[in-house]
Amino acid sequence: MRETIAAIATGLTESGIGIVRISGSESYEIISRIFRTKSGKNIDLGESHRVHYGFIHNVSRETSGEKEDEIIDEVLVINMKAPRSYTGEDTIEIDCHGGVLMMKKIYEAVLEAGARPAEPGEFTKRAFLNGRIDLSQAEAVIDIINAKNNRALKASVSQLKGNISEKIRSFRNLLLEDTAYIEAALDDPEHISLEGFSEKLDADTDKILEATKKLIDSSENGKLIREGIDTVILGKPNAGKSSLLNVLIGEERAIVTDIAGTTRDTLEAGFNLSGITLNITDTAGIRDTEDKVEKIGIERALKAASEADLIIYVADSSVDLDESDIRIIDFINANDKKTIVLLNKSDLEPKIDENKLSSMLKRDAVILPLSAKLAVGIERLEKTIVDMFYSGDINYNDEIFLTSERQKAALINALNALKNVRSSLEAGMSEDFFTIDLMQAYEEFGYVIGEEVGEDLVDEIFSKFCMGK
């Protein structure tokens, strides 16, 4: 934390603008060594949050015993004094031309002037260590960077704003208040009475228990929002699986032919659907075969389907159901997965009885007509997927979604501690038993926002960040 760090904060690719970021106590001294205004004067850093126009110079070289003053680029420099910066430290951002070579040359000049290369996520880590953000907000930063759809972005921004932090801090404040009262009453029973306090503690515990359960329940929804819906397309050969994949993603990713068994392995693709991500896997056609390679493809298809969030079963409605269809139906019945059945080739005369097919499926499955060839029924399919995952099943919980497994684990531990408090209350145990579990819950909630975590965990979390963030 004593060292001043620097990194290229934008991607190493050609762009209109590149940003080199500096943070630490020597940021202002470093920029003063390499920056000059258009008139050749030193930068005036008297006021914070100002934009300065000028040139970055490289003065490290020596020619005939004299330092050579080489202009590297025309730039804008933004200065932010501590604590009013992202990291809470003196910070400089250099906006330069976005050539890869140019950004590297300016970065090298900054390092030669006294900064050291930042580690992945070190700027955000310093923001956390300096109290600018808590750990749940820091994790929201990387979720924002990795967001693949609008819903994931919205959930991450909500967490960055501190919505989860506010809830957790309100839980901790209430737990601390109740624990302090019990401890004070035990130390001074003559002046502080515990009579009737168990009713208040019971009400407080129930309140936190219910809110914690909602947060834990939101974690599955948060995972779907962040990572997308893992979707597997099943069907027998020539049912139209690959055609469906191509229509959904809007490009010819899968080979489509009249030859059965063209798709022999899984093929993965992703696309955004009404603000969510669908991770689609096209699979080998399910049928009895002696081809060893095709058998492996079928095994992989069924394995992928068993791990999916959604199964899309594509049936060729222009032919009767056969043994391959029965095998797929049996697989769907044996696996507790959300399922959509598409009666493909609806532009042809139908041979499949929809009511009979519905009766063969043990679980509720949506059955829809579709023509992948003519792209008819695609909009209805998309709406069905959105409604299936994000209508009745999703509880927005005031726009708060838990997206971290680490946070979920801590909340489960806190929930168990609170259940122990409730059990102690029901058993009529003495108040000193309550304080042990109350403080356990208090600490577990602290893990969520980073007030009770160790250095190793902090290092592990920020090591997953990109460079320059």
User: Mean pLDDT for the chain?
Assistant: 84
Q: Percent of the chain having pLDDT more than 70?
A: 90
In this prediction, residue 125 carries a pLDDT of 93
Tens of pLDDT, residues 198-228: 889 999 999 999 999 988 887 777 777 777 7
In this prediction, residue 350 carries a pLDDT of 84
Tokens 């834990």 correspond to 216
Q: How many CB atoms lie within 10 A of CB 399?
A: 12
CB 118 within 8 A of CB 107: no
pLDDT beyond 60 at 396 = no
Return the axis-axis angle of helices 431-449 and 405-427, rounded to nearest 10°.
170
CA angle at 215 for the pair 366 and 278, rounded to the nearest 5°? 35
Q: What is the mean pLDDT of residues 254-271?
A: 52
Strand duo 62-63 + 276-282: pairing = unpaired
Tens of pLDDT, residues 165-186: 899 999 999 999 999 988 888 8
Integer Cα distance of 139 and 134 in angstroms:
9
Q: Residue 11: name the closest of 20, 24, 3 by CA.
A: 20
The one-letter code for the residue type at 314 is V
pLDDT beyond 80 at 149 = no
Exposure on the CB side of residue 106, measured as CA atoms within 13 A:
33
Q: Residue 231: name the closest of 430, 389, 442 by CA.
A: 389
pLDDT beyond 90 at 431 = no
pLDDT beyond 50 at 258 = no
Q: Strands (DSSP E) along 41-107, which ranges? A: 50-58, 62-63, 66-67, 70-80, 91-98
Per-residue pLDDT band for 32 (boundaries 50, 70, 90) equals very high
Per-residue pLDDT band for 243 (boundaries 50, 70, 90) equals confident
pLDDT beyond 60 at 57 = yes
| Burial bucket for residue 467 (CB in 10 Å: 0-12, 13-18, 19+) | middle
Q: Dihedral of CA 161/167/170/175: which sign? A: negative
> Residue 281 pairs with which residues in a beta bridge?
232, 268
Return the SS3 of 469: coil
Per DSSP, 346 falls in state T
- Cα 378 to chain centroid distance, Å, stands at 28
Phi, psi of 308 (to 5 degrees): -80, 165
pLDDT beyond 90 at 417 = yes
For the chain, count helices (H), then strands (E): 15, 15
Peptide bond into 83 cis (omega under 30): yes
In this prediction, residue 251 carries a pLDDT of 60
Q: Which residue has the higher pLDDT, 373 or 294?
A: 373
Q: What is the mean pLDDT of residues 37-46?
A: 89
What domains lie within the chain, and their CATH numbers? 5-132 (3.30.1360.120), 140-223+400-450 (1.20.120.430), 228-372 (3.40.50.300)
> Residue 453 pairs with which residues in a beta bridge?
none
**Of the ranges 4-8, 217-221, 286-290, which is most confident?**
4-8
Q: Which residue has the higher pLDDT, 382 or 256?
A: 382
Per-residue pLDDT band for 259 (boundaries 50, 70, 90) equals very low
Q: What is the pTM of this model?
A: 0.71
